[in-house]
Amino acid sequence: MDYIGRVCGRTVMRIVFRTSYDTPIQVGEMLVIEDGASDRKFLVRSQDVEFGTESDDDKWMEIEAGKALSSHSQGKGYDVNGHGERIFKLVHSFPLGYMEGKEFKKTKTIPEHFSRVRRACPQDYEFLRPLMGDLSIGHLRSGDRVLDFEAGISGSAIPYHIGVFATTGMGKSNLMKTLALSCMASRKYGFLILDPHGEYFDGGELGKEGLRHSPFAKEGLEVYSSRKLDGAYSSIHVSSTEIDIPDLANLYEFSGVQLECLQFAQYKYGASWLLELLKRDVKTIVSDSGAKFGEGTVNVIKRRLESVFRFNLISTDPKLSVTKNIIEALHCGKVVLVDTSNMFETEELLISTVLARAVFEKHKALYSDKKEFDRTPPVLIGMEEAQRVLSQSKGTVFSQIAREGRKFKVGLCAVSQQPKLINEEVISQFNTLFIMGLADKNDRDILKSSAKQDLSMLDNEIQMLMPGEVLITSAFTPFAVPAKVELYEKYLERCRSKATSTKAISKGLDSQFF
């Protein structure tokens, strides 16, 4: 076993060890301290690194740096190695916990002074394996060193909501495709992906692959789109009878009187209230309300409804809708991709809201039938640019799902570059967070206050995360798990190889019977 340092202080929550100045060490490395006084193994993560010197002069390093600069300007060399062990590194780390035999416990004491420190290996984290679940997204990471240890989440975490947060270019879409591929492989969970950017179906750009390239796509993927796609898909249509007042309020800002008028129409005209508002003239509607609402109020509502019905996606036929088929596919454990990339934002938000509410209400209806509800798989609803619909704690179906979804086995997967714009009450409902690189301190602060683990020691690491590197915080793991998300194309190739091997074995077994 290669040891890289010895403990030299300080407290239970800040353990410092010394290592040689030429030992490479990074922020975010997973390390093991073997306690000299017991058989305990303390698991720690490096938080910061600084140089130290054995000189009595506090300014010795500054003086030597000046000498090196002077020697360089005179064309002379300067031998750093000549100082030998006089220069060293001090690594500041914080505890994750300790192992006593095979049992993981939270740290409540400090390892013995001068205990040996080594780098972690996969065997040190074997206790985590059952907690990594059945939905793989990559591998455990120590600094930028990737360990041979699969990392992911359990499908049981789906109803408790998932957040994927990172600035542009850090790998959010790659993570989502990888998660979707794991869902397709398992066929135990429904995953509805609302894609306003057109990145998921075919990869979105040259050299990338999408969900349609999955070996599980034929049986595990259904696609709906409002644009023409190069592959199997169905067109998107929803019925006007599926649109509710909160859906419209999510698109337009209505006054109190206008909302009352909409509520009156829904009560007065029943299931076809939207069509009736559209077909009837202003005077008739005013008369039907007993002149409670003025012509100006009704005119504003009718103009907005006319703009909604200009969308070719809204059908006046109650039977012409994709929601029933989508829900059936989700309940068969499929991934359902809804590509809204050629829609205007108003259209896209309306379709997303109607579909999300249809799923949620179906699960609420099934809840009263225990046998049927128990058979229903959890469903995850993935929403890009989630801050658009989660900025308020109430008023949208998405915020309602965030508050009530876990009871009905419906979870949100909110994807956002700006978690600070999501309502604090809503984001506190998210039990699993995938935190990738975030440069904005306000974004990091909101996640630190919402995460189910203490992230106060990880601020440096979050700032330094490279594309594809992630911290997984969850109520189901004892600490934030550092991981490297597998490149979707690489994961896809592994799945293809595995599928080919399975077919070959199956064919070989079949041939033995003939």
The pLDDT of residue 75: 80
380 vs 459: which has the higher pLDDT: 380
In the numeric block, which tokens belong to residue 401?
């799902």
CB 178 within 8 A of CB 449: no
The pLDDT tens digits for 227-251 are 999 888 999 989 888 989 988 888 8
* Collapsed DSSP state (helix, strand, coil) of residue 14: strand
* Mean pLDDT value across residues 466-474: 95
Beta 162-165 vs 335-339: how paired, if at all?
unpaired
**Integer Cα distance of 278 and 293 in angstroms:** 16
Strands (E), 126-239: 135-142, 145-153, 162-165, 190-195, 221-225, 234-235, 238-239
CB 215 within 8 A of CB 499: yes
The pLDDT of residue 87: 87
User: Dihedral, CA atoms, 7, 8, 10, 16, nearest 10 degrees?
Assistant: -60
The pLDDT of residue 432: 95
Give strand pairing partners of 204.
Answer: none
Report the range out of 175-184, 299-308, 397-406 with the highest average pLDDT: 175-184
How much of the chain, in percent, has pLDDT values that exceed 90? 63
The pLDDT of residue 205: 82
What is the value of pTM for the model shown?
0.89
The pLDDT of residue 485: 97
205 phi, psi to nearest 5 deg: -155, 165
**Integer Cα distance of 274 and 242 in angstroms:** 10
Q: What is the DSSP string of 223-261?
A: EEESS--SS--EE--EEGGG--HHHHHTTS---HHHHHH
**Integer Cα distance of 447 and 29 in angstroms:** 21
The pLDDT of residue 503: 57
* Mean pLDDT value across residues 176-200: 95
**Nearest C-alpha neighbor of 430 from the set 460, 396, 390:** 390
**Band of residue 305 on the pLDDT scale cut at 50, 70, 90:** confident
In the numeric block, which tokens belong to residue 272?
């076809």
Residue 509 pLDDT > 90, yes or no?
Answer: no
**Nearest C-alpha neighbor of 342 from the set 242, 175, 229, 252:** 229
The pLDDT of residue 514: 45
CB 368 within 8 A of CB 179: no
Burial class of residue 379 (count of CB atoms within 10 Å of its CB; 0-12, 13-18, 19+):
buried
How far is C-alpha 184 from the chain's CA centre? 17
Q: Where are the alpha helices (DSSP H) in 56-163?
A: 60-73
DSSP state of 128: G
**Integer Cα distance of 344 and 369 in angstroms:** 39
Judged by average pLDDT, the poorest of 354-358, 393-397, 415-419 is 393-397
* Mean pLDDT value across residues 363-385: 95
Residue 507 pLDDT > 60, yes or no?
Answer: no
The pLDDT tens digits for 265-294 are 999 999 889 988 988 999 999 999 899 999
Judged by average pLDDT, the poorest of 39-48, 81-90, 359-368, 490-499 is 81-90
In the numeric block, which tokens belong to residue 490?
């690489």
In the numeric block, which tokens belong to residue 504?
């070959």
Give the chain's mean pLDDT.
90
In the numeric block, which tokens belong to residue 139?
């591998």
The pLDDT of residue 84: 63
CB 144 within 8 A of CB 466: yes
Give strand pairing partners of 42.
Answer: 33, 98
Residue 82 pLDDT > 70, yes or no?
Answer: no
Residues in the chain: 514
